[in-house]
Amino acid sequence: MTAQNESSADHLLSYGGVQRLPYKKIELLQRRAFADPVLCADLVALIERERRPSTLADANGDEYFRTSETCDLAPDHPAVRSVEAMLDELTGIDPAYGEPLQGQKYDVGQEFKAHTDYFAPDGEDYDRFCSVAGQRTWTCMIYLNNVEAGGATRFKVLKKNVQPETGKLLAWNNRRPDGGVNPNTLHHGMKVRQGLKYVLTKWYREKPWGWE
């Protein structure tokens, strides 16, 4: 039986329509048309209303490392509740272990250079970000629109580019089978060359979220 805070590739595959990408170094899965276009449009409108400049957990001195805009989405909004319920079913993880749903917008030239979603155990902000809820476990990301040019998610170790596509979900485990963090999850939100890119991201933790 899977713990309340855990998921697996097998569980995601049982959702229907989910594909596991053929890489041994990482549990990486996708599902096309996970979210319908109407729901995606509602979420884009929310991001437009609430967006602010994105920040980094561990500043590295590169002011151009992450140039997108970000927002935490109101949990009581019907579109947000709908996506949360879909992700709960997909992952099987108790909602208590999830961070608030986050939206991102990338304009032309904006990017998020190669990074991992887990907090670096030797990072200066590790204790602050992991003291309550622990390390990040799974990432679920939904592309909310087709991008005219650019904006792919590149997994650098795998040499794999995933192209944005309205409603497509991408999910991966940030850990190795032994529970340690997996550096093979290193990924780059590549520059948008033409148009806009909107993304929704949900991260799960080892312990209940607990932050206000």
Average pLDDT on 82-107 reads 97
Residue 2: pLDDT band (50, 70, 90) is low
CATH number at residue 165: 2.60.120.620
In a domain, 211, yes or no: no
In a domain, 2, yes or no: no
In a domain, 1, yes or no: no
Give the pLDDT of residue 55.
66
CA gap 35, 142 in Å, rounded: 8
> Considering the entire predicted model, what is its pTM?
0.93
* Total count of domains within the chain: 1
In a domain, 212, yes or no: no
In this structure, how many other beta carbons lie within 10 angstroms of the beta carbon of residue 191?
Answer: 18
Residue with tokens 């949900």: 202
Domain of residue 38: give its range. Answer: 9-205
In a domain, 183, yes or no: yes
Strand bridging mode 69-72 / 52-53: antiparallel
Give the pLDDT of residue 57.
59
Burial class of residue 10 in the structure, from the number of CB atoms within 10 Å of its CB (0-12 exposed, 13-18 middle, 19+ buried): exposed
In a domain, 137, yes or no: yes
Cβ proximity of 193 and 108 under 8 Å: yes
Q: What is the mean pLDDT of the chain?
A: 93
